[in-house]
Amino acid sequence: MSSGKLRELRGRIRSVISIQQTTRAMRMIAAVKLRKAQERLIRLRPYRQTALELRNVILAQLEEPHFYQLPGQGPKSLYVILSSSRGLCGAFNSGLVRWLIPQLPSPSEADLLVLGKKAYEALRRGPHHLEYQDLFGAKDIAPEAVQHLAQTLLQRFRDGQVREIVLVYNRFGGVGRSLPTQQVLLPLTEGAPKERDSRMWFHEPDLPKLLEAFVPWYIEAMLWAAVQESLTAEHAARMVAMQAATDNAEELLRTLRLQYNKARQASITKELLEIVAGAEALKG
């Protein structure tokens, strides 16, 4: 085999080693971020559950349907979609989009608000009207950004711009397992109690005012919980993807090194044969 082929194999081996070092480092970074995100999620999930339970307690006491329990005056639903703005996380984004598309109402029935670059790139050529905010572009998501988003969504519902607000995101189901999820934020019908609570509750102020004060906090809590679920699932998906890439690089390295050793052995054998042939020719 020519020396050029050997140089080519050496170059490929160096390239794969460099890529493997990068993927191994990215896996370690993702693992650290995942551990921190899991700790936040463990603290946050009871907070979310308390918000849901408190919502049900309030709704179960109402004698008449409240404004927030009725569909908005807008002509369309608004689907708020959380995805990542960074790649190299396996099927984290593509899986969510594939799961979502068959469930979307027609373009005349729903608009999309996409928070994350990857889902935006996948959906922007679709038939639905699309809005985009890069909530996940920053290194750390500020609570103020989520609070502002909650206020904006609530105002759109109050102003009669939308009929309902549906939140779509990946829930963390364990390492390597992202669970596409959707939740109706407004109106407050999803999971609400079917019957009025007959127990005696004392509350101040009256229930409609209490619900008015509660809903902004509730929407913010649901959004923040979804953001943390999505971030945790993203870090887990990236860690798994980078581990797979590192393993694939190791397998490719074994193949390339075997090819290189065989080629080098063949080259040495050829040189020896040429030397022997030359010596025999001199003897003759």
pLDDT of residue 223: 96
Burial class (CB in 10 A: 0-12, 13-18, 19+), 125: exposed
Residues of the chain by 3-state class (helix, strand, coil), percent to 5: 60, 10, 25
Closest CA to 40 of 170, 172, 216: 172
pLDDT of residue 108: 96
pLDDT, average across residues 198-221 = 80
Band the pLDDT of 204: cuts 50, 70, 90.
low
What is the residue-averaged pLDDT of the chain? 89
Q: 42: Cβ–Cβ under 8 A, 6 or more apart, which residues?
A: none
Cis peptide, bond prior to residue 208, ω within 30 of zero:
no
Provide the b/e sequence for 159-175 (b: ≥16 CB within 10 Å): eebbbbbbbbbbbbeee
Least confident piece of the model among 111-115, 175-179, 277-281: 277-281
The rounded percent of the chain whose pLDDT value lies above 90 is 68
Band the pLDDT of 271: cuts 50, 70, 90.
confident
pLDDT, average across residues 62-82 = 93
Ordered by where they begin, the domains of the chain are 3-19+247-283 (1.10.287), 24-240 (3.40.1380.10)
Please determine, for residue 200, whether its predicted confidence score (pLDDT) is greater than 60.
no
Please determine, for residue 109, whether its predicted confidence score (pLDDT) is greater than 80.
yes
Least confident piece of the model among 97-111, 136-150, 232-246: 136-150
Band the pLDDT of 160: cuts 50, 70, 90.
very high
Q: How far apart, in whole angstroms, are the C-alpha atoms of residue 247 and residue 24?
A: 9
Please determine, for residue 145, whether its predicted confidence score (pLDDT) is greater than 70.
yes
Q: How far apart, in whole angstroms, are the C-alpha atoms of residue 58 and residue 206?
A: 10
pLDDT greater at residue 85 or residue 198: 85
pLDDT of residue 197: 52
Cis peptide, bond prior to residue 193, ω within 30 of zero:
no
pLDDT, average across residues 123-129 = 94
pLDDT of residue 277: 72
Q: 12: Cβ–Cβ under 8 A, 6 or more apart, which residues?
A: 256
pTM exceeds 0.85, yes or no: yes
Band the pLDDT of 107: cuts 50, 70, 90.
very high
pLDDT, average across residues 113-130 = 94
List 169's β-bridge partners, or say none.
181
Residue pointed to by tokens 């996409």: 114
